[in-house]
Structures are given as C-alpha cells and as structure tokens.
C-alpha cells in the first residue's frame, strides 16, 4: 500500500521539475527569436543574393502553376528599376490573374494579403494599404504584360502577386544595394 502513495508523489515532483525546465527553454528560444529578428532588420542579409547578377532591368514571368520564375532580384539603390511582368499562362484572368506588387520594408505579408483579397473592385490592390506599396503592375490575364519603374533606397523589399491565394507562393525579394 505504501508504494501506491509514493509513486504519485514522485510523478508530481518530476512533472514539477520538467515544467520548470520547459519554461526555461521557452524563454531562451523567445530571446533568440527576438535577437534574430533585430539582426535581420539591421544587416538584411538574404541567402543566395551573392549569386544573383546586379541589374536594374528585370523581366519576371508568372504562370498557370501559380509561380514567379524569379524569386530574387538584385538592384542598385537610388537608380530607376524597371520590372516587366509577363503572364505566360493561358488560364483566364478571373481564375489565374497575376500582378507584381513591391512592398515597403517591414510590411506584414499575411496582413497585406488579407486586405488585398478583399479588394476585388481595385484588382486586389487594397486602397487602405496604398502606403505599404512601392509600385505595382496591373492585374494581367494570359499573354499580357506590364512594366513598372521605381527607385528605391538600400534595403530588402518583398514582392508578391496579390491575386487571392497567390501571395503565399508567388513572392520574392528585391535587394537594393
Ligand atoms: Cu498570381
């Protein structure tokens, strides 16, 4: 009978100590994440950027597989950047339209994407978030293309297709140096 009382006491003690250990781990990893984020914002290193040619003229293709053919763009800051988007697919604009939206540094993609999804009247360019956008093309149907020109300062800029459901996979980064 005695053992039955000892075992629950042990289990209780173990769960108490493991709980404490778990909390320690959690707070440590939270600290690491915070440090990593602030480092990223400062240094703005994008893996693989050293393999990308530096050019201020780019052509990007969007296709029926909901993909951009280019996900990393390297440009010279302070000089005009010219980007042409081509929709090389054949599916109708209503189901597989594409655009190219350059966002300012620090814009939250899921937040912007959700607002864009609700902006069908303005081809998924949310009027409420115009201040988050550096430049954007028109929404393109099959075979169409559009060109945008903009000048940016040094930094890392996300770009997406803001057609509903696309920004999760149709996205990339422009590094201006
Ligand atoms: Cu798209």
Tell me the CA–centroid distance for residue 7 and ligand 1, in Å: 60
Could you tell me which CATH number the domain at 49-176 has?
2.60.40.420
Ligand 1: centre distance to CA 127 (Å) = 19
CA of 176 to the centre of ligand 1 (A): 23
Q: How many angstroms is it from 69 CA to the middle of ligand 1?
A: 12
CA of 110 from ligand 1 middle (Å) equals 15
Mean pLDDT on 65-88: 98
Lowest-pLDDT range of 26-30, 76-80, 131-135: 26-30
Q: Report how far residue 167's alpha carbon sits from residue 117's, in angstroms, rounded to the nearest whole number.
A: 10
DSSP 153: -
User: Which 3-state string (H, E, C) describes 3-40?
Assistant: HHHHHHHHHHHHHHHHHHHHHHHHHHHHHHHHHHHHHH
Q: Which run of H or of E encompasses 93?
A: helix 93-96
Edge-to-edge order in the sheet of strand 145-150: 57-62, 81-87, 145-150
Report pLDDT digits (tens) over 24-58: 433 334 444 444 444 444 457 899 999 999 999 99
Mean pLDDT of 116-138: 97
What pLDDT, on the 0 to 100 scale, is given for residue 107?
A: 96
Output the pLDDT for position 147.
98
Q: Token pair 């201020």 is at which residue?
A: 56
For 44, the 3-state DSSP assignment is: coil
Mean pLDDT of the residues in the chain:
84
How many angstroms does the Cα of residue 84 sit away from the middle of ligand 1?
Answer: 14
Residue 8 has pLDDT above 90, yes or no: no
pLDDT tens figures, 115-126 = 999 999 999 999
């Amino acid at each position: 009978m005695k053992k039955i009382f000892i075992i629950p006491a042990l289990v209780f003690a173990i769960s108490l100590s493991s709980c404490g250990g778990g909390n320690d781990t959690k707070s440590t990893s939270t600290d690491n994440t915070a440090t990593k984020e602030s480092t990223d914002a400062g240094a703005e290193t994008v893996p693989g950027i050293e393999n990308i040619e530096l050019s201020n003229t780019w052509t990007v293709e969007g296709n029926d597989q909901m993909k951009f053919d280019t996900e990393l763009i390297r440009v010279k800051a302070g000089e005009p950047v010219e980007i042409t988007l081509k929709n090389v697919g054949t599916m109708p604009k209503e189901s597989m339209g594409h655009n190219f939206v350059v966002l300012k540094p620090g814009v939250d993609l899921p937040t912007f994407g959700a607002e864009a999804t609700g902006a069908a009247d303005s081809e998924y360019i949310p009027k409420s978030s115009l201040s988050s956008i550096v430049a954007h093309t028109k929404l393109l149907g099959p075979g169409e293309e559009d060109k945008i020109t903009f000048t940016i300062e040094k930094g890392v800029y996300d770009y997406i297709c803001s057609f509903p459901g696309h920004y999760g996979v149709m996205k990339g980064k422009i590094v201006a140096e």
